[in-house]
Amino acid sequence: MVRTRVQPTDIRFVCGLSGYFHKDLRAVKLSPHFDPLADNIAAVTPGFTNVVQPGHVISVLIRLPNGSVAIGDCVDVIFSGAASRDPIFIPAQHLPYLNAVVKPWLLHCDVSVFRLNAAEVDATWRALGNKKLHTAVRYGLTQALLSATAQVSHCTAAEVISREWKVDISTRAVGILASCHRNDWLQLDRMIMKRVALLPHASFVHARDIGEKGKGLLDYVLAVSKRIQERGSFNYQPRLHFDVYGTIGEIFADEEIPDFMELVEQAACPYGILIKSPIVADTKMAQIKRLSQLKRSLRARCINVKIVADEWCNTLEDMRDFTEADAADFLQVKPPDLGSLHNSIDAVLYCQSQNMGCCLGGSANETDISARITAHVALATRPDFLLSKPGIGADEGVMILTNEQLRTLALVDTFDSIPEKKRY
């Protein structure tokens, strides 16, 4: 089949707000008295002027010959600059080269295909001194390019991925992990009522959050388990997921952690439980080594707490290293950290090929646009679950991801836009 070249007619870059904020994780970890409202400690991570800063985005608008507009949002994660991530994304620093260098490139881009363009975005740019674009920029540009390819192909973004990667599109929506505030019990009740697949995420960022000897975390896990049993329908069996940002490793020696994990498993009963980042080491190699040792210990003792790797596991190469070392049960594929969307697609497919569990995650700091694009990636690649985004309102993120998946499945099921698409 002969492909017709399609080039954009105009490009615009628009600054706006993201779904949450940025936080200097290192500064927070160093201070036992951090108060985000009082702003009572100094920032220490390069690029931060305050410990907590509003999140901003650059929307990429690609106007197509038929007058339609494809959109992508350049956005990064809450804890920018931590664990080998790119520095905090400040739009004003990127607009000059976006207009001078990237805009002309986009105007000459053939948007009838996606994957080749995504790889070019992800490569080094000669006009920028053979440097790569910031991960947030690569993420936003490729969202817009994927949307553009879908529009000129008269199909969904999921079908574009299906065609170009030769993968099957799911016949059902991917389950969602609802990201809830730790102290908002009504929010948790709403997620129980909506029967989300996993909950509550409930971040524990500082060692004091999990309490002396982890008692605060154990009490919270037990309370969540009881609340589901009391308020959930009789056949509702979600998995529990908690993000502890290395705090378990801060208060326990590595050899003590399995004993604590056994208590966590008991508190979660009768539900399966996942703990994200139980340890955060100072380097990637140390992180891999310590998580590998922990996983072996848990397996040897038949302690059924699943480890989710996040920190220091930011790139496709990182994910290969964590997988080869058997350092986790699940990897979080975090699109803002991976930059160009083709990396996220490849990462999920790699996890599947290696029988590694996979969360197609992201950040509360994302937007409705990036969340919707992520829903299409999920349908085409079928990770084990999605993280709700943007924000930590849970309701909004679950709604956006659920509805985008269901609408897409209805379109894929109804229209034969891509004859060679495959279903399972």
The pTM of the full predicted model, rounded to 2 decimals, is 0.93
161 shares its domain with 186: no
Q: Which one from 276, 284, 334, 421 is the annotated catalytic residue?
A: 334
Binding residue numbers for Mg(2+): 243, 310
Model confidence over 373-414: pLDDT tens digits? 999 999 999 999 999 999 988 999 999 999 999 999 999 975
In angstroms, the first-to-last Cα distance of the chain is: 25
Predicted confidence at residue 419, as pLDDT, reads 45
Domain membership of residue 1 (yes or no) is: no
Q: Where are the alpha helices (DSSP H) in 197-246?
A: 207-210, 215-231
Domain membership of residue 208 (yes or no) is: yes
Distance CA 120, CA 271 (A): 44
**Residues near 407 by beta carbon (within 8 Å), at least 6 away in sequence:** none
103 shares its domain with 235: no
Longest CA–CA separation in the chain, Å? 66
Predicted confidence at residue 10, as pLDDT, reads 98
**Residues near 96 by beta carbon (within 8 Å), at least 6 away in sequence:** none
206 shares its domain with 340: yes
152 shares its domain with 240: no
Binding residue numbers: 243, 310
Phi, psi of 332 (to 5 degrees): -90, 115
203 shares its domain with 81: no
90 shares its domain with 181: no
Domain membership of residue 303 (yes or no) is: yes
Tokens of 185: 């019990």
Active site residue 334: yes
Domain membership of residue 171 (yes or no) is: no
144 shares its domain with 224: no
**What are the residue ranges in the chain where pLDDT is below 70?**
1-2, 32-40, 83, 414-424
276 shares its domain with 138: no
Among residues 165, 197, 219, the one where a domain terminates is: 165
Predicted confidence at residue 92, as pLDDT, reads 96
Distance CA 148, CA 132 (A): 22
Predicted confidence at residue 4, as pLDDT, reads 86
- Kindly report the CATH number assigned to the domain that includes residue 306: 3.20.20.120
Predicted confidence at residue 421, as pLDDT, reads 43
Predicted confidence at residue 7, as pLDDT, reads 97
Residue 362's domain comprises: 176-422
147 shares its domain with 189: no
182 shares its domain with 161: no
337 shares its domain with 290: yes
Among residues 130, 165, 200, the one where a domain terminates is: 165
Phi, psi of 180 (to 5 degrees): -110, 155
Domain membership of residue 151 (yes or no) is: yes
Number of folded domains in the chain? 2
- Kindly report the CATH number assigned to the domain that includes residue 45: 3.30.390.10
Domain membership of residue 411 (yes or no) is: yes
Predicted confidence at residue 81, as pLDDT, reads 77
321 shares its domain with 392: yes
Distance CA 94, CA 87 (A): 12
Among residues 165, 188, 223, the one where a domain terminates is: 165
Buried b (16+ CB within 10 A) or exposed e, 43-74: bbbebbebbbbebbbbbbebebeeeeebbbbb
Domain membership of residue 82 (yes or no) is: yes
Domain membership of residue 3 (yes or no) is: no
